[in-house]
Amino acid sequence: MIISSRTLDLVWILLIALTLGGVAIGEGAEPGFWITVIVAVITTFKARMVIDYFMEVGDTHPGIRRLVRIYGFLVPLLMILIYLYGPQIAQLTSL
């Protein structure tokens, strides 16, 4: 799949808008489930756009495509898991 210049331009504008929007949402926010979910979703969306439109992994070898796409979910998923199960994970990882 060849990405057009117009698509790249739109993706870049969206990435910048999401960055500024995420900053506005996150600034001064108190810890909470929904703020964690919002930050995680924005992070996932931005990473996926870089992966699909800049890296163009859509037609790459499955070993590359799957690994990179899964990686894009890793940190956002951990954000939510740590918020929900932080004490249990702390207990599991105590020496």
Q: By the 8 A CB rule, do 39 and 80 touch?
A: no
Q: Does 27 bind another protein (CB under 8 A)?
A: yes
Cα–Cα distance, 35 to 80 (Å, whole number): 10
Task: At 13, give phi and psi (nearest 5°).
Answer: -60, -40
| Interface positions with another protein (CB under 8 A) | 2-5, 8, 11-12, 15-16, 19-20, 22-23, 26-27, 29-32, 35-36, 39, 42-43, 46-47, 50-51, 53-57, 59-62, 64-65, 67-68, 71-72, 74-75, 78-79, 81-82, 86-87, 89-90, 93-94
